[in-house]
Structure 1
Amino acid sequence: MRYDVVAAGTREQLARQLDDGLPDLIIISGALPDLPADALCSAISCDPRLSEVPILMLVPAEARLAALQAGAAATLEPDSGDEILLARIRNILRQSDAPGDAGVAMGMAEAPAAFDHGTRPLVVLVAESPARALCWRKMLSDRMSCRFEVRDPDQALGAAAEGRQVDLYLIAADLRERGDGLRLLSELRSRHGSRDAGFVIAIAPDRHELSAIALDLGAGEVIADLLDTSAAAEAAAMSLQMLLSRKSRSDQRRAEVRRHMVWAMTDPLTGLHNRRYALPKLADIVRASAQSGRSFGVFAIDLDHFKAVNDRHGHTAGDAVLAEIATRMRDTVGPDGLIARMGGEEFLVVLGDCPTVRAMQIAEALRLAVQARPVRLPGVSGGGQLRVTASVGLALGRGDGDSWPEQVAHLVLEQADRALLAAKAAGRNRVVCATTQHAA
């Protein structure tokens, strides 16, 4: 990784550097001639322009608490080697740039487990002995408004496998064997139930070489495992609290990204998926069909004479019809099928593992659900009820290893559209299957 580094030795030099552009990270390694280090850190932290810029302070262990209180995001001892310094820089920049799992949504990946902001954060303590973990809890519980649980490594992994949510783990670097706390960190970060938690590794005084490894493995912070003084416990509590705050902001960003992705792939009127979601998902269904060797069904559905609804009763009535019909189709298809509004009065249904007989049954069920009972129109449109019918074009497909899934999806969708046109040409309110040209 390449860094562009600039240095400032006075307040005036620092001000000029900041006027030229905001940095990604500020490292304070000592006092300026005209300003003590703690005061400099506090002044930077209070500057609205720099409020989101993390500060790394190089201070002795006994000054760590004062540095954190002044606004430092992290500290290192001045004689720390280049390896730990670079690992700390990578760690801070990685946390600052974290996008919040933007791609995990809409069925494209496993969805993150929910985070309950309505309860006190849960901190799990994993130490080499219950006595050490209980000591941590005693020293931290008076300084943090959190729930603390003591677990051994197997209990921590088992709870993560069950999806039981933890906000932060404090793990000793050495548990049953030397360094196995880092292996536990790696495993927990790979589990769905625990990957979004914060992680702090507690390292013994003679094991400083593990700090860089822990930070590069994804620990948000490393601390000394001896919380035997009030100052050490206070500094550890501040570090844990800052990590919990970063996690909360990350959770909020992740939820916001997820909401925007949902909105981008959802039809706001009916609540169904839209074309942007449906077409890639259809390709995924083709891939699954190629692996299983089973056919899938594609249903193109169009409401009959829908333009007349808008012309005679207004667009509010048309919207009410679309929303009601979408609900009926969703109830008919169930949770295992893909259903989307492709535009206007056109809908798409896709079912995996769908042989011909079942496909015809579903197509007919969809047609009957649309006409099952009149749709009640809103009062603003004059009220009353309206009978609606639909035409359905059905095509069956099967993925294969010789064609791109997107090509197969396009071909089968085109066949369903042609079957739909045939259904409308034959008088509407009917099902036509593209493979057999069978009319219901």
Structure 2
Amino acid sequence: MPQTVLIVDEVATNRIVLRVKLAAAYYSVKHATTGAEALAVCAKSPPDVILLGQVGTMKAGDLARRLRSNPKTETIPLIFLTPPENLRARVEALEAGADDVLSHPVSEMMLLARIRNLSRARDAERELRLREGTRRALGFAEASAGFEMPARVTVVTDHPSDAGHWLDQLRQRVSHRFEIRSPREMLAQNPDASKAPDVCIVMLPRLIPETGLGTLSELRARSATRHCAMLVLCDRETRQAAASALDLGGNDLLAGAFDPDELALRLQNQIARKRTADRLRATMRDGLHAAVTDPLTGLYNRRYALPHLARVSQEAQCTGRRFAVLIADLDHFKQINDVYGHAAGDAVLAGVARQIKENLRAVDLVARIGGEEFLMVLPDTDSHRARRTAQRLCQVVRNAHFLAPGQDVPLRATVSIGMAMGPRCSASTNNEGDDLLTLADRALYASKSEGRNKVTLSRDAA
């Protein structure tokens, strides 16, 4: 399903120009001429991204604040479109809650790169909210943010003197810890990830911006700096080439002349996003402790999985995005226990769980919901991708060798998988998760009946 972009601008020419640029990139485009009309569109069907230009009697900043105060629209990326070289308008937009600000005339390359970049950031925050919702549904208290230390910010440049003026002003506006390092120093070291900076401000060289883009790409690829927020600075002359920085790992881009207040706001936004992403990774890594974790496999258990499936279903009902429910069951598992013993059976179960988890995305849920039964929930996934994923899981389990205590020869195993797709138009939000589990279980039974080590898609999923 293509992403939907809402253009809010009372100037027809601006709407037409933006529509042409977005439609060429296969975005679905809606438009509104006033703030009230934009709020009505969002109430009916929230878009994926909102572009705010001139919005009539309601100021764009007031509209942004109303969108940010509504739970249905608070996470939608907002891009303000301002008059050229109006630095004050850019700062006011960021203060009002804008995720980004572009000046007219809007570069198509920059616009599309911004939308892709902000969509990725939005998805990370949405996944965190989804998992926190599951935590609350299970009766756990909300995680405390705790005391936040000043962020560590590294300016990456071969020309420290170029950063001196604005860095002094930045230090007066924010209380974070700054240092300047050359690209060679950053790439030559191999620090512990816990000692890496929270934000890297990468300055692109004026004459050869490609070298700065290479540094950015390398920093994003290194394990120690992979999760750092990357804020890219460049001159007006290189801003078109620098648009690709957003696709090479940059989180934000500031091109041309800028107000130190704007840089401070952007830096604070990136630090907040970085801490959000850190919380997401911590939640995924630590789970919900022993209460919702299967002790043998380390996967989530049924107590966690079912509320999470319900949350994914509710989210899909609101957004219309497809998701997949997979149930996998080990073939002839009783024979493994009977012939080799329960310790060997446990080793195979743990090994299969590891193979499944390692071959799915971080946003996918994997849980052990029965003796030898596993549940997988794949958000934002169509039936074609889900089937390919299930077939790949069958293959990796079939090819794996499982070491078991007391056995000289590694054991082998296979799995059968049943699939069901949501959201289902005929299902209510309250019980769709249970319905999909039933459909996936029937499809699993069909895989078993047809010889095992197979994938079957529920007929009702089409």
Shift of 1:144: 1.3
Opposite residue 138 of structure 1, the aligned amino acid is: D
Report what 2:67 is aligned to.
44
Opposite residue 242 of structure 1, the aligned amino acid is: N
1:133 aligns with 2:180: no
Contact kept in structure 1, 2:79 and 2:100, CA below 8 Å: yes
Contact kept in structure 1, 2:219 and 2:226, CA below 8 Å: yes
Q: Which residue of 182, 186, 194 maps to 2:213?
A: 182
Q: Which residue of 339, 346, 360 maps to 1:342?
A: 346
Report what 1:386 is aligned to.
none
Equivalent residue of 1:202, what SS? strand
2-structure distance, mates of 1:71, 1:239? 11
Per-residue deviation, residues 225-276 of structure 1 (Å, max 9, x unmatched): 655xxxx0001110111011011011101111122297699654xxx65699
1:92 aligns with 2:122: no
Contact kept in structure 1, 2:204 and 2:232, CA below 8 Å: yes
Report what 2:54 is aligned to.
30
TM-score computed with the length of structure 2 as normaliser: 0.54
Q: Which residue of 204, 228, 238 maps to 1:173?
A: 204
Q: Which residue of 268, 276, 289 maps to 1:241?
A: 268
Opposite residue 152 of structure 1, the aligned amino acid is: S
Opposite residue 84 of structure 1, the aligned amino acid is: M
Report what 1:71 is aligned to.
97
Equivalent residue of 2:28, what SS? coil
Report what 2:77 is aligned to.
54
Aligned residue pairs: how many?
A: 285
2-structure distance, mates of 1:15, 1:210? 35
| Structure showing greater Rg | 1
Shift of 1:38: 2.6
2-structure distance, mates of 1:121, 1:145? 8
Mark the runs of 5 or more structure 1 residues left unpaired by the alignment: 103-115, 278-298, 303-339, 350-402, 418-440
Contact kept in structure 2, 1:128 and 1:176, CA below 8 Å: no
Identify if the C-alpha distance between structure 1 residues 341 and 193 changes in structure 2 by more than 3 Å, giving closer, same or farther.
farther
Report what 1:83 is aligned to.
109
2-structure distance, mates of 1:117, 1:175? 39
Matches within 5 A, 1:348-359: none
Contact kept in structure 2, 1:57 and 1:75, CA below 8 Å: yes
1:217 aligns with 2:251: no
Equivalent residue of 1:53, what SS? coil
2-structure distance, mates of 1:206, 1:275? 51
Shift of 1:134: 2.7
Matches within 5 A, 1:156-167: 156-161=186-191, 163=193, 164-167=195-198
1:196 aligns with 2:196: no
Moved more, 404-413 or 41-50: 404-413
What RMSD in Å do the two structures reach over aligned CA positions? Answer: 3.9
Report what 2:401 is aligned to.
409
2-structure distance, mates of 1:160, 1:8? 50
1:16 aligns with 2:47: no
Moved more, 158-167 or 207-216: 158-167
2-structure distance, mates of 1:264, 1:2? 45
Mark the runs of 5 or more structure 2 residues left unpaired by the alignment: 1-24, 129-145, 302-339, 352-394, 410-462
Contact kept in structure 1, 2:61 and 2:92, CA below 8 Å: yes
Shift of 1:160: 4.7
1-structure distance, mates of 2:47, 2:396? 46
Shift of 1:414: 9.9
Report what 1:124 is aligned to.
154
Identify if the C-alpha distance between structure 1 residues 6 and 118 changes in structure 2 by more than 3 Å, giving closer, same or farther.
closer
